[in-house]
Amino acid sequence: MEQHNAASEIIVSVEQMRRSDAYTIEHYISGRELMYLAAHGVYDSYHEWNGKSIAIVVGSGNNGGDGYALAGILKNSGVTPVIYKVSDKMSDDGRYYHDIAAKLGVPVFDFDEVSDLKGYDVIVDCILGTGFSGEVRGKARDAITEINDSYAYVISVDINSGMNGDTGEAELAVRSDLTVSIGYYKQGLFKGKAKEYVGWLTNVDIGIRLIDENGQEMDSSQAQSTR
């Protein structure tokens, strides 16, 4: 694993990230706007989208919503990805960006065991977020296995699906060429089995305010650094 962007060297726990995200949405930026900023951060972190065949594999939560938002951004930039969803469930903000992508003409398919991901140049992993722990099951497991068996350049959004955001442990997780952390680096990206799964690692700042355990905004100098 290599860290190629030290613009934000702050490490947070899953709980601190959840708390900070909720506080920012309540006081500063809507969840829908944060989702768009996260997706645009992923778009800006990779510079070879043009001319590539791209699959975005999405789950049911906000991590999947980032994938739908990214699909719309790519389509508006002249690149048409294909979306594979492992669940019909979506967050409200995720559904908003799903509908935009669909209206723009982005193909959206259900993922199943016969979905073939080997023909894609780039696969974006938006299946499971930082709050996941335990053993991956069902279509998500099938999708992770197929991603790892593909020959594509793999980009994981926020964290590699299947990895514990606090410990870095995983029974099965996506092996990425690039992981784009959102807001702040998560502890699990530097612990446990992270080195086995994470290739290039970068972080994008989307304006999330860092909150301590007492609900107070923190100065970045108070936070733990990756160095």
Q: Concatenate the DSSP letters of all residues of 28-62 into one string.
A: TS-HHHHHHHHHHHHHHH----TT--EEEEE-SSH
The whole-number pLDDT of residue 7 equals 43
The whole-number pLDDT of residue 178 equals 98
How many Å separate Cα 62 from the centre of its chain?
9
The whole-number pLDDT of residue 8 equals 52
Q: Which residue has the tokens 């160095």?
A: 227
Q: What is the mean pLDDT of each run of 10 residues along the chain (227 residues)?
A: 58 95 96 98 97 96 96 98 95 97 96 80 97 93 95 97 97 98 96 96 95 79 50
The token pair at 171 is 């029974």
Q: Write the pLDDT tens digit of every residue in 175-223.
A: 999 999 999 999 999 999 999 999 999 999 999 999 888 778 887 555 5
The token pair at 123 is 């696969």
Question: Strands 200-204, 178-182: parallel, antiparallel or unpaired by DSSP?
Answer: parallel
In order of start, what are the domains of the chain with their CATH numbers? 2-212 (3.40.50.10260)
Q: Which residues pair with 82 in a beta bridge?
A: 55
